[in-house]
Amino acid sequence: MPDLSPQAQEVFWAFNEAASGKPDDWHYLPAIAAALRATADQVAPLSTNRRQDDIRHKIRAIAAELEAFAQTDNVATPA
């Protein structure tokens, strides 16, 4: 999975292992992205605090990366 950042890879692999035990179960990516967005909204809601906004932005960036990856040709079509 060289096209994902190390952070996104870790999130994907951890979720996937817990959910199915299959390392390449790509259909989970949108669900992971949604969970990360919800986490960002709860942990670091929109704020005037720069550090909080930076945390929110980083979490949501991983979500966007996973979602975009799910929509590319990099994702193997399940058999």
pLDDT in tens, 35-54: 888 888 888 878 788 888 89
Determine, yes or no, domain membership for 77: no
Percent of the chain with pLDDT over 70: 81
Determine, yes or no, domain membership for 49: yes
> How far apart are alpha carbons 77 and 67 in whole angstroms?
15
User: What pTM, to 2 d.p., does this model score?
Assistant: 0.66
Q: Using the predicted structure, report yes or no on whether residue 10 has a pLDDT greater than 60.
A: yes
- CA dist 14 → 8, 24, 52, 54, 79 (Å): 10, 11, 25, 23, 22
Q: Using the predicted structure, report yes or no on whether residue 78 has a pLDDT greater than 50.
A: no
Determine, yes or no, domain membership for 52: yes
> How many structural domains compose the chain?
1
Write down the pLDDT at residue 76.
Answer: 52
Contact 55, 44 (CB under 8 A): yes
Which residue range(s) make up the domain with 31?
A: 6-70
Determine, yes or no, domain membership for 13: yes
Q: Which residue has the tokens 């996973």?
A: 66
> How far apart are alpha carbons 73 and 15 in whole angstroms?
21
